[in-house]
Amino acid sequence: MTTPPPPDSPLHSPRPSPLNAIPFVCPLDGQPLMPGAGSLVCAGGHSFDISARGYINLLPVQFKKSRDPGDSKSMVAARRRVLDAGLFDPLADAVCGLAFEEFAARGQEETLLVDAGCGEGFYTARLAADLRNRMGDAAPKILGADISKWAVMAAAKRSKDLAWVVASNKRLPLVQGTVTGITSLFGFETWPDWAALQRSGQFVLVVDAGPRHLIELREIIYPTLQVHAPPRHEAATANGYELMGETVSRFEASVPNAELLMDLLEMTPHGRKSTGAARDRVAAMTGLSLTLDAVIRKYRRS
């Protein structure tokens, strides 16, 4: 009796991977990666297997700062439940609209959108669906990248027809100058590295928490409320980007039960910062009306 290959084995891959269309470079020597048999390979002999789940890991162990970097499996699961409940849909719609404006202006030009710090893929998948619906074959290629293997595994399960990579935001293994657009939602901005990936005229959309984001929840878990500082632009401008505009996405959402409130707490930095007593207060609630407040900034590479 033949033992079947494990679920993550490249032998399970039934069709050409969306990863084949992405201009990757080898994370070890910087040479272009080319499609192989269920893998991507470089001229230097380095080979990286494409998982049966549809993603690739281009984060060598020597570039990890911990054994299991990024969001944990439980954080990823909590975020998936919250986002799938629709709480952040208006924000996703706003980001999709801004991205469409950028790509529609580029006509039939071949383009690439990278969702840097894609998490479990909710926003990436929404961007892909919206752009394909509006633009058809002219829609950009889309890559979701995250340092958390758990996040990328969940993202690949969500959308099998998109390209997903485990990689650091500071070391995105892509050919320089090939990334038309970058989205970063509630993530870490790495302007020097992004600048190397983009040419003049290409863009970045950054989403940060606004001053009233989740304020009702923060009032419950913190004895003293601190207002989020407004975003700063010095790092972007120092690396050759110009701020083109800001859009505020502020709306109310009703969280119907304590389970989803605890998920919301778990998926944010507030979960790590809150005390046991604060978590108990949240767990005892039957629901809560929340303010979701985000600032979307658009930058252009000069």
Is this structure's pTM higher than 0.85? yes
Amino acid at 87: L
Across residues 28-44, what is the average pLDDT? 96
pLDDT at 9: 52
Across residues 191-199, what is the average pLDDT? 98
Residue 101 lies in a domain: yes
- Counting beta carbons within 10 angstroms of the beta carbon of residue 145, is it exposed (0 to 12), middle (13 to 18) or buried (19 or more)? buried
Give the contacts of 204 (CB within 8 A, at least 6 positions apart). Answer: 181, 182, 183, 184, 194, 198, 236, 241, 298, 299, 301
Integer angstrom CA distances of residue 141 from 5, 14, 16, 76, 178: 30, 21, 15, 24, 11
**Percentage of the residues of the chain whose pLDDT score is greater than 70:** 95
Q: Which residues are annotated as a binding site?
A: 42, 46, 88, 120-121, 213
Q: Which residues are annotated as a binding site for S-adenosyl-L-methionine?
A: 88, 120-121, 213
Residue 131 lies in a domain: yes
Domain that holds residue 296: 68-301
Tell me the per-residue pLDDT of 146-194, one tens digit each, with 9 for 90 and over.
Answer: 999 999 999 999 999 999 999 999 999 999 999 999 999 999 999 999 9
Tell me the per-residue pLDDT of 109-118, one tens digit each, with 9 for 90 and over.
Answer: 899 999 999 9
Residue 130 lies in a domain: yes
Average pLDDT, the chain: 92
**Percentage of the residues of the chain whose pLDDT score is greater than 90:** 82
Q: Which residues are annotated as a binding site for Zn(2+)?
A: 42, 46
Residue 17 lies in a domain: no
Residue 77 lies in a domain: yes
Residue 12 lies in a domain: no
User: Residue 205's domain is classified under what CATH number?
Assistant: 3.40.50.150
pLDDT at 66: 82
Residue 53 lies in a domain: no
Residue 274 lies in a domain: yes
Domain count, the chain: 1
